[in-house]
Amino acid sequence: MKRFLLALLLLALPLAAQEEKKTETPHVPIVSKLFVLKYADPQSLRALLLVFGVNIDSNRDLHVLAVSAPPETMAAIEDAIKRLDVPSAAPANVDLTVYLVVGHETESSAGSPVPRDLDSVVTQLKNAFAFKSYSLLDVLALRTRTGEQQASTTSSGATVQNGNATASVITNFRINGVSLGGDGATVHVNRLQANINMPLPTGASDFTRHDLGLNTDVDIKEGQKVVIGRLGITKDQALFLVMTAKILQ
């Protein structure tokens, strides 16, 4: 009986080995390749190519991508890079200018005159709101680059007068990045954040502080002047943020 059981065990071992071979996952070779980019930003392109689920490293200084993937996937990645690494993908400098314009319910002489190149904006505001006069509070300028992540600027040059006392308006302007639309002339501003700490006159020469904020995405054509937000200051004053964009290739 023992000899019979031993014989069955010896016969079963080759069969078990065959079954194990059948269930083994076939080995997929991995190839590595270095792509030198001509136009596209390496980090931005890497973020897109991660959809293939393979290992990709980028180096912005050397303008290269290092890819490790199975041969079939590598062929698809190579085709995608050829389609995306084109002149329109070249990084561009973008100048953003934000004008802080205050609307007053009365004819006010406070603040600076609004620049003449914003006359069309003031006309638009007068048609939409009941404010009788407008003045320029401050101007913020920010240069950034497509493909960059964050950029910011701060200003404390604007002031509010109350009798003989003067208080500064503190403005912080931040963006999470910019990109160009398919037409090459539209600037997409990702997550624009504006924070304004506004002094409000109280009494003869005192101030209280009022925080104003704006958080939004913006699409703006080069050369356009766009009102991107309206923020209430008091019941008879409001702050309008007007933006322009210029693309520098």
Q: Find out whether 197 and 169 touch, Cβ atoms under 8 Å.
A: yes
Q: Distance between CA 223 and CA 227 in Å, rounded?
A: 13
Per-residue model confidence as pLDDT tens digits over 7-51: 444 455 555 555 555 555 677 799 999 999 988 888 889 989 999
Q: Which two tokens stand for residue 143?
A: 């240069």
CATH number of 27-88: 3.30.1370.120
pLDDT of residue 183: 78
Q: Distance between CA 153 and CA 140 in Å, rounded?
A: 7
Helix (H) or strand (E) holding 126: helix 119-128
CA atoms within a 13 Å half-sphere pointing along the CA-CB vector of 121: 26
Q: Distance between CA 105 and CA 68 in Å, rounded?
A: 64
Q: Give span(s): CATH 3.30.1370.120, the chain.
A: 27-88
pLDDT of residue 117: 92
pLDDT of residue 21: 52
Cα 169 versus chain centre, distance: 26
Q: Find out whether 180 and 212 touch, Cβ atoms under 8 Å.
A: no
Q: Distance between CA 138 and CA 143 in Å, rounded?
A: 17
Q: Which two tokens stand for residue 61?
A: 């200084």
Q: What is the pTM of this model?
A: 0.69
Q: Which amino acid is at 154?
A: T
CA atoms within a 13 Å half-sphere pointing along the CA-CB vector of 187: 32
pLDDT of residue 1: 53
pLDDT of residue 11: 52
pLDDT of residue 185: 86
pLDDT of residue 27: 78
- Which parts of the chain have pLDDT scores under 70? 1-25, 88-89, 109, 249
pLDDT of residue 89: 67
